[in-house]
Amino acid sequence: MSISKNLKDIKSILPDHVTLVAVSKTKPISDLMEAYDAGQRIFGENKIQEMADKHEQMPKDIQWHMIGHVQTNKVKYMAEFVNLIHGVDSYKLLKEINKQAKKHDRVIDCLLQIKIAQEDRKFGISAYTASTLLQSNELSELKHINVIGVMGMATFTDKTTQVEKEFKLLKSTFNKLKNLNSKLKTISMGMSGDYQLAIDCGSTMIRVGSSIFGARNYN
Ligand SMILES: *Cc1c(COP(=O)(O)O)cnc(C)c1O
């Protein structure tokens, strides 16, 4: 299986309203270039330093998405070029993104990460916290960030019913938040193992790594 073939297969079943983020974490530039040459322009990374290095080396018409957990003190290393930050889970982080974006005269799009999984290890905030945040005066003062939607990760399990329940929770949370803020448009959910289910549940953005680039080797 080649990267370009994998990409083509996934894109062939993708509805027009769903965006594919090619998750290239741990993969070498040569693999990313293969995806680029096949037409892919949106790449997702989960480490800021790795994303910044790849941004340096890759063509400049790529959109870079930060899909991992973001440490406040590292925002400055991506503020100049990042297109979408998926894992925003606090006002403090939004404030820092705003501050760093301002330095570059940019407005950075962000997604609020909602905790939908039962597992404790998954990051994210509750629907209630997200709605409070969205309605706060503090948020309206941040002119260099733009919250455009939500992101979530389902429990790592083979139980489809569990994953489906969690995806539906993210979709209904999105609907509630959209009533508060009609600008919201993006639901980032679905990975290699569950993107079809995620699309059926209302995803508008899937984050796919191993089904494009093959299994990751963390050694
Ligand atoms: C690694 C990662 C993915 C992609 O995972 P695959 O199972 O390889 O498709 C998606 N989202 C996040 C947040 C990730 O860290």
- Residue 50 CB burial class (10 angstroms; 0-12, 13-18, ≥19): middle
What is the reported pLDDT for 119? 79
What is the reported pLDDT for 140? 93
Phi, psi of 111 (to 5 degrees): -115, 140
Domain of 169, in residue numbers: 3-213
Residue 112 placed within a domain = yes
Ligand 1 pocket test target in 20, 66, 207, 213 with most atoms within 8 Å of CB = 207
Residue 218 placed within a domain = no
Residues 6+ apart with CB under 8 A from 4: 34, 35, 37, 38
Residue with the two structure tokens 């941004």: 55
What is the reported pLDDT for 118? 83
- The count of structural domains within the chain is 1
What is the reported pLDDT for 217? 80
Residue 44 placed within a domain = yes
Q: Between vectors from CA 93 to CA 185 and to CA 166, what angle results, nearest 5°?
A: 50
Residue 148 placed within a domain = yes
The dihedral of CA 204, 208, 212, 213: what is its sign?
Answer: positive
Percent of the chain with pLDDT over 70: 98
- The answer to whether 18 and 203 are in contact (CB under 8 A) is yes
Residue 137 placed within a domain = yes
| Mean pLDDT over the full length of the chain | 96
Residue 64 placed within a domain = yes
What is the reported pLDDT for 123? 83
Residue 219 placed within a domain = no
**Cα 6 to middle of ligand 1, angstroms:** 16
What is the reported pLDDT for 219? 59
CATH of the domain at 60: 3.20.20.10
Q: CA–CA separation, 128 vs 198, rounded Å?
A: 22
Ligand 1 pocket test target in 19, 43, 46, 115 with most atoms within 8 Å of CB = 46
- pLDDT (mean) for 141-158: 96
Least confident interval from 44-48, 123-127, 197-201: 123-127
pLDDT confidence bin for 71, thresholds 50/70/90: very high
**Cα 2 to middle of ligand 1, angstroms:** 19
Residue 163 placed within a domain = yes
| pLDDT tens-digit series, residues 153-207 | 999 899 999 999 999 999 999 999 999 999 999 999 999 999 999 999 999 999 9
What is the reported pLDDT for 187? 98
- Within 6 A (CB) of ligand 1 lie 23, 25, 46, 67-68, 153, 191-193, 207-211
